[in-house]
Amino acid sequence: MGYAKTLRCQKCGREYPLEPLNLCDFCLSPLEVSYDYKAMARGLSKEKLAEGPRNMWRYRDMLPVESEPVDIGTGFTPLVKADNLGRELGLDQLYIKNDCLNPTYSFKDRPVSVAVTKAREFGFDAIACASTGNLAASVAAHAAKANMKAYVFVPSVTEPGKLVGAAIYNPVLVIVDGSYDDVNRLCARLAQRYNWGFININLRPYYAEGSKTLGYEVVEQLGWRTPDCMVHPAASGLSFTRIWKGLDELSMLGLIESVNTHMYVTQAAGSSPIINAFQAGTLHIHPVKPDTIAKSIAIGNPADGYYALRVARQSGGGACAVTDEELIAGMKLLAQTEGIFAEAVGGVVIAGLKKLVASGTIKRDELTVAFITGAGPRTQEILSDIVQPFTIQPSLESFEEVLGARV
Ligand SMILES: [Zn+2]
């Protein structure tokens, strides 16, 4: 049996049973899963965790599930020592957490695996989501594995690669003529009408918990050390808060000492309500109308922006926005130094990290982990101008002519 106890309001602390529910009836704030940490601590040890499967479900006891997980092989992705990129940026200890290498090529497989497991426990026969693309693919893939029906709703700007990435699993794929925020509002209404498990609405508290495994893994892969700095992108801000919760839990459970990690959040300048608020010194988010090529984080009204801001502040971290030109340069830099092809959001993280180091905010000797949350081939149209091959005849002479011109 798991150690999850209740759903708890993040603002007023009211408690609710573990049901498909995401908002507090009294103050409309988001609910969060709370656990019996004393009992959890008695059942856990580093040795026991090390014996678990090499996927996210090695942390099963720290997740809110009671049944066999719906697992397509997610997690325990590589933590790569990025010496080339570190040298380029001026960091002696830089690591890349390469979460492109999940089954549907993004970190979303982590939260979705938890949410779909809960959907099945709750008896839903259909799952649904509002998505900018990556979540749709992950939900559809997990629905296929769990033999459930999937309804996925995406905005009209969704890249063709992301539509194919979801459609291959045969969900009901619905393109909504509007922005992601419009899609999200529509899904909130659909959730009241249909008895479906909406991954990021009525299942959101469970969904959120899956992202904790990113924090657990980094610490375990560093030999149970916490990084000095973590740099992560934000859309709604939810995963950023849960990575922090994961570190906090490891400390509470006695698996690591106190946590001194500085948490840095990055967004694209064309959709940076969280960064704007951080820089204005407020915890109040002003929604924006997104305009960026980093579409998978183009959320103008981030549901967990307030909590993400609190994490950045409380951890002594920071916030950084980058332009579309900078993020493309970031994608190229990561690929050309470390051999990792990230989607546009990865470029946001690398370009943001570059600025944070250049400004002296992150220091050369600080052990830093940058999170790459999705794979490049899904957004390759933004890079079409980089393909500049040499065309030759199938002869030695023709090649050497080109080689001569090149040298
Ligand atoms: Zn409340």
Distance 304 CA to ligand 1 centre (A): 15
pLDDT-based confidence at residue 83 (cuts at 50, 70, 90): very high
Distance 14 CA to ligand 1 centre (A): 6
CB 368 within 8 A of CB 94: yes
- Work out the average pLDDT over 309-327: 98
Query: Would you state the pLDDT for residue 156?
Result: 94
87/294 Cα distance (integer angstroms): 26
From the list 33, 208, 193, 32, the residue with the least C-alpha distance to 115 is 208
Asked whether the predicted pLDDT for residue 34 surpasses 80, the reply is yes
Asked whether the predicted pLDDT for residue 1 surpasses 80, the reply is no
Distance 30 CA to ligand 1 centre (A): 8
146/26 Cα distance (integer angstroms): 35
Distance 314 CA to ligand 1 centre (A): 21
pLDDT tens by residue, 244-292: 999 999 999 999 999 999 999 999 999 999 999 999 999 999 999 999 9
Average predicted confidence (pLDDT) for the chain: 96
Distance 23 CA to ligand 1 centre (A): 8
297/292 Cα distance (integer angstroms): 9
**DSSP 8-class letter at 127:** E
pLDDT tens by residue, 48-76: 999 999 999 999 999 999 999 999 999 99
Asked whether the predicted pLDDT for residue 406 surpasses 80, the reply is no
Distance 173 CA to ligand 1 centre (A): 34
Asked whether the predicted pLDDT for residue 407 surpasses 70, the reply is no
pLDDT-based confidence at residue 305 (cuts at 50, 70, 90): very high
134-146 helix and 160-167 helix, angle to the nearest 10 degrees: 10
CB 271 within 8 A of CB 293: no
374/364 Cα distance (integer angstroms): 26
CB 143 within 8 A of CB 150: yes
Distance 33 CA to ligand 1 centre (A): 13
4/2 Cα distance (integer angstroms): 6
Distance 311 CA to ligand 1 centre (A): 19
pLDDT-based confidence at residue 380 (cuts at 50, 70, 90): confident
From the list 368, 401, 381, 355, the residue with the least C-alpha distance to 80 is 368
CB atoms within 10 A of CB 37: 16
2-11, 31-40, 312-321, 380-389: least confidently modelled range: 380-389
102/232 Cα distance (integer angstroms): 17
257/110 Cα distance (integer angstroms): 25
Task: Identify the sign of the CA torsion 387, 390, 393, 395.
Answer: negative
Distance 28 CA to ligand 1 centre (A): 6
pLDDT-based confidence at residue 344 (cuts at 50, 70, 90): very high
Distance 16 CA to ligand 1 centre (A): 10
Distance 15 CA to ligand 1 centre (A): 8
Distance 205 CA to ligand 1 centre (A): 14
Distance 27 CA to ligand 1 centre (A): 4
Distance 29 CA to ligand 1 centre (A): 5
Distance 36 CA to ligand 1 centre (A): 20
Distance 288 CA to ligand 1 centre (A): 26
Distance 7 CA to ligand 1 centre (A): 11
Written as one string, the DSSP assignment of 64-111 is S--S----SS-----EEE-HHHHHHHT-SSEEEEEGGGSTTSBTTHHH
Distance 6 CA to ligand 1 centre (A): 13
pLDDT tens by residue, 191-237: 999 999 999 999 999 999 999 999 999 999 999 999 999 999 999 99
From the list 66, 62, 68, the residue with the least C-alpha distance to 1 is 66
Asked whether the predicted pLDDT for residue 153 surpasses 70, the reply is yes
- Work out the average pLDDT over 84-90: 98
The residue type at 403: L
CB atoms within 10 A of CB 68: 11
- Work out the average pLDDT over 347-368: 98
From the list 188, 256, 201, 266, the residue with the least C-alpha distance to 231 is 266
Distance 13 CA to ligand 1 centre (A): 6
Strands 31-35 and 4-9: antiparallel
Distance 226 CA to ligand 1 centre (A): 32
Largest pairwise CA distance in the chain:
78
pLDDT-based confidence at residue 384 (cuts at 50, 70, 90): confident
From residue 86, give the alpha-carbon distance in Å to each of 101, 334, 364: 21, 10, 9
Query: Would you state the pLDDT for residue 308?
Result: 97
Tokens of 10: 């993040």
Query: Would you state the pLDDT for residue 282?
Result: 96
Higher-pLDDT residue of 405, 222: 222
pLDDT-based confidence at residue 98 (cuts at 50, 70, 90): very high
320/242 Cα distance (integer angstroms): 19
Distance 26 CA to ligand 1 centre (A): 5
Distance 395 CA to ligand 1 centre (A): 73
Query: Would you state the pLDDT for residue 379?
Result: 84
Q: What is the pTM of this model?
A: 0.96
Distance 22 CA to ligand 1 centre (A): 11
Distance 199 CA to ligand 1 centre (A): 21
Distance 238 CA to ligand 1 centre (A): 18
Task: Identify the sign of the CA torsion 101, 107, 113, 114.
Answer: positive
Written as one string, the DSSP assignment of 216-274 is HHHHHHTTS---SEEEEE-SSSHHHHHHHHHHHHHHHTTSSS---PEEEEEEEGGG-HH
CB 75 within 8 A of CB 57: yes
Distance 375 CA to ligand 1 centre (A): 37
Task: Identify the sign of the CA torsion 299, 304, 309, 315.
Answer: negative
Distance 307 CA to ligand 1 centre (A): 14
Query: Would you state the pLDDT for residue 404?
Result: 84
Distance 355 CA to ligand 1 centre (A): 38
